[in-house]
Structure 1
Amino acid sequence: MSKIVVLGGAGFLGKRICQAGVNAGFQVTSLTRSGKPPRGVTHHDAHWLTKVQWQSADLFDPSSYKHHLVDAHTVVHSVGILLENQNYKTAVNSNSSVLSEFVNFVKPSNPLAKIPRNTYTEVNRDSALLLAETYVAETKVDSPSFVYISADRGFPGLPSGYITSKREAEVELSLLKGLKCLFARPGFMFDEDVHDDTMRETIHKFVDALDWGNKTLLGSRIPVLNDLVRPTISTQRVAHEIVDSIQNNRFNGVLSLDEMLHK
């Protein structure tokens, strides 16, 4: 049985990659700070949660996870930050007042109180390079492969450092010798099994409405608008396409949002 190691396997997308891996017959190990299964999942998830090896690891300390990489056929980096402001993850998944949470979401963080190792460069780029380099040094398998969760593109109002750090990571990872890399580029993601009244769900509906209007009313005839308004995609869909690529050895660079949506 081939082994997949997912760094960030209890996260919003990471847990669905673990699920898809288990369903496809892989041995799956999740590496997170706590080493615990994700919270807030549905009762439908019980069948696969027990089949994942939930292990603790320090993102920036290879000694805490390198032994898990030795026999891994594929390693997935599913860790990243959208904003350097720590409020955003809580705000996006909160079901309190959308307006108040949106204020917290966009409010810039105090640079004097910035948490160490919480910048785009460190989390989105450097941690991926550290993981990949450690994997190359430790692996004993033939043709090891690496999946990096990148992004379709930036969003209006989002700091340029976000997409810059993603693209820099792609370039640096592609230069590593002896490693096949796949760069998955999803857009705004939602979970098919979660329908709570959260800010994430509000954004999901809003973006879908914009995309529908652009395609149906405007016929996608305005290039600038096409670049700004992009379709959403479920975490289940992204995870399925990633695992499908792993199964079929389709590690040929970029797995775009459009490819994932239209396969």
Structure 2
Amino acid sequence: MSMSSVVPSSSPTISLSSSSITRKPLFLSPPFIRPFAPLQHRFKSRHVKCSYSRTNGEESSRSTTIDVIADVRSEKLVVLGGSGFVGSAICKAAVSKGIEVVSLSRSGRPRISESWVDQVSWLPGDVFYANWDEILIGATAVASAVGGFGNEEQLKRINSEANIAAVTAAKEYGVPKFILISVHDYNLPPFLRESTYFTAKRKAESEVLSRYPSSGVILRPTFVYGKRRVDGFEIPLDLVGEPWEKILSATENFTRPLNFLPASDLLFAAPVNVDDLALAVISAVTDDDMFGIFTIDQIKQAAKNVKV
């Protein structure tokens, strides 16, 4: 008897949502490798459509025809502080990789006459009073570049409380990943690391790692250089940062023995290009296996992983 399958015109069609598909997680070793996220976190608005048919008779003696239609993965990144120095670099890098970008910042749309700006949804607003219903729906990741200086109260509110509020909201709305731009500790002595600025940063870090233990990303750069715009003027920080980075790279073998000295990183820790920092964020957005705390060298390596 021929074992061919006959497909009648009245074949039933079954549509399955991706949330109904489960799989056994793959456990890998720490610190920056984790099991794959559930499908509902990896895909936005996805479905799998299966069609099948069978002839009369025993099912075991008939072949089955299955057609699967699946969409490719897409990302929606919400950038907090997207109009600032680091935040705008993140938005630009995300747009260049085809990622949908929404920016929330108090100043709204930046005064930059570049084509990528038109591809970002700019929302003016404050993290403490944000309408998260409109901002976080469909987001696959949140990246916070919120931070700043001031008196002790301002340091706590900007560097700690604002980020904690954002992390709490992202978790409540089911955003799979949170990325925080923090700061290197510069090998400072303990009494300096206990200053309000550093303690506020570390408190925000703890919140990210607590709520996102397997998908939270903390980036700890040193001095970030690039072309920074302030009140319509461009400050070329790269004129200082880029040469210093090259000098430190060339003299690394000589300066390494000095790394044990307190506060040695103020001189010997390499600065970070703002574009590399932005690409490290993109790497975190697109790589489900990237999580944890990332140091200077790890930030630069993450950036290399997504460079083309």
State the TM-score, normalized to the length of structure 2: 0.62
The answer to whether 1:84 aligns with 2:116 is no
Task: Look up the match of 1:244.
Answer: 283
| Aligned match for 1:257, one of 296, 299, 302 | 296
Identity percentage of aligned residues: 25
Query: What do the CA deviations read for 1:234-259 (whole angstroms, capped 9, x no partner)?
Result: 11111111101211113321122111
Equivalent position of 2:166 in the other structure: 131
Greater helix proportion:
1
Check 1:53–1:227 CA distance in 2 against 1; reply closer, same or farther (3 A cut): same
Where does residue 178 of structure 2 map in the other structure? 146
> Which aligned pairs between 1:54-203 and structure 2 lie closer than 5 A?
54-62=122-130, 64-81=131-148, 83-84=149-150, 119-139=154-174, 144-154=176-186, 160-176=195-211, 180-191=215-226, 198=235, 200=237
Q: Structure 1 residues 11, 215: CA separation in 2 closer, same or farther (over 3 Å shift)?
A: same
Please say which of residues 244-253 and 147-156 is displaced more in the overlay.
147-156
Count of residue pairs the alignment pairs up: 220
Higher-Rg member (1/2) = 2
The offset of 1:146, in angstroms, is 0.5
Q: Which amino acid aligns with 2:283?
A: D
In structure 2, distance between residues paired with 1:197 and 1:122:
28
Query: Aligned residue for 1:95?
Result: none
Q: Which runs of 5+ in 1 are unaligned?
A: 86-110, 112-117
Partner of 1:99: none
In structure 2, the CA distance between the partners of 1:185 and 1:241, relative to structure 1 (3 Å rule), is same
- Between stretches 173-182 and 49-58, larger displacement belongs to 173-182
Hey, what does 1:204 align to over in structure 2? 241
Q: What's the RMSD between the two structures over aligned residues?
A: 3.1
- Write the letter of the residue equivalent to 1:242: V
Q: Structure 2 unaligned runs (5+)?
A: 1-73
Q: Take 1:121 and 1:193, find their aligned partners in 2: how far apart are those partners? A: 24
Q: For the Cα contact (< 8 Å) 1:192–1:236, is it kept in 2?
A: no
- The TM-score, its normalising length taken from structure 1, stands at 0.72
Q: How far did 1:50 drift?
A: 0.8
CA distance 1:158–1:136, change in 2 (3 Å): closer
